Amino acid sequence: MHLDTRKPVCTREAKLPVRIICTDARLPGGISIVALIEVRPGVETVATYTAEGRFGGPENGHALDLINILVN
């Protein structure tokens, strides 16, 4: 999966809005993206991702994986 962090992103299944805070974090497990997910209006939670936008590591897909928002 290719993720362009310069473009708008959301979570894969629930399409929750995401703000990427940084893409160069040096965390264990290949985690380099730190983001804020809007879980309900006005409330965000911190999440970390691999460079490919995977939540929880490079293995199986997860509902919170990041995808680019398609703009028409």
Say how far apart CA 38 and CA 29 lie, in whole Å: 24
pTM of the model: 0.88
Give a yes or no: residue 53 inside a domain.
yes
Residue 33's pLDDT is 96
Residues 4-10, mean pLDDT to the nearest whole number: 95
Residues 6-35, mean pLDDT to the nearest whole number: 95
Express each pLDDT in 29-69 by its tens digit: 889 999 999 999 999 999 999 999 999 765 678 999 999 99
Containing structural domain, residue 14: 9-67
Give a yes or no: residue 1 inside a domain.
no
Give a yes or no: residue 21 inside a domain.
yes
pLDDT at 26 over 70: yes
Rounded to 5°, the CA angle 41-37-7 comes to 110
Give a yes or no: residue 2 inside a domain.
no
Give a yes or no: residue 31 inside a domain.
yes
Residue 58's pLDDT is 58
Give a yes or no: residue 39 inside a domain.
yes
